[in-house]
Chain A
Amino acid sequence: MKNRLKVLRAERDFTQADLAEKLDVSRQTVNAIETGKYDPSLPLAFKISRLFGLPIEEIFEDQG
């Protein structure tokens, strides 16, 4: 699944560590989501959506 997390994070001047702290996950998890190696659960996706104030489909793109 593709996502715009890295771009959104950069727009807000967040480091991976900053974002990890805001989402209450590890920095490794933020990195794995950004590189598309790990797809977050629905609750985490909603958390990301709330943090950036965008709907989920504007952050994540289903490639199926």
Chain B
Amino acid sequence: MNKTNKKSVKTLAIWTIAWVLSTALAAFGPVFVWESQTVLTGGAIGINFLVGIGMIFANIHHITSLDEMLQKIQLQAMGITLGATLVAGISYSLMDTTNLMAADAEISFLVIFMGLTYMAAVVIGYRRYK
């Protein structure tokens, strides 16, 4: 990993941590800190959205700083993740709307599924070219 890669990984990590923290603030702030004050809740969600955009740009910068093979691994992992999340997400939603499962479908499950699929696909990709 060269200096540019290290810097882009660090920048991406900072943006990701900031996004996770701002998500936690927007989710738990109205419940535990400011007790449903609409202005503060709206502000927290706005900050979360803007930090999320920053995280996307940091990710784009990180991907473009990688060499061609590492970009290929990332692209394949993203393709697998997109397809798997679409298929699993629709099936999960259908199970909810057709009452095949008792609980409501939660977006958080889909986000966890997406993260785990992406991580697994990246690890498999790296092993394939090892």
Give residues in A with beta carbon < 8 Å to B.
21, 24-26, 28-29, 31-32, 37-38, 40-41, 44
In the complex, which of the residues A24, A38, A44 contacts B129, with contact meaning CB atoms closer than 8 Å?
A38
CB proximity of B116 to chain A, nearest CB, Å: 23
CB proximity of A1 to chain B, nearest CB, Å: 14
**Across the two chains, which residue of chain A brings its CB closest to B72?**
A38
Sample 6 A-B pairs with CB under 8 A, ordered by A number: A21-B2, A24-B2, A29-B67, A37-B130, A40-B68, A41-B68
Give residues in B with beta carbon < 8 Å to A.
1-2, 5, 66-70, 72, 126, 128-130
Q: Report Cα–Cα, A55/B125, bound state, in Å.
A: 31
Once A37-B128, A37-B129, A38-B129 are accepted as A-B contacts, the answer to whether A28 and B69 lie under 8 Å apart by CB is yes
CB proximity of A30 to chain B, nearest CB, Å: 9
**Across the two chains, which residue of chain B brings its CB closest to A32?**
B129
Q: Is A26's CB under 8 angstroms from B67's CB? A: yes
Q: Is A44's CB under 8 angstroms from B130's CB? A: no
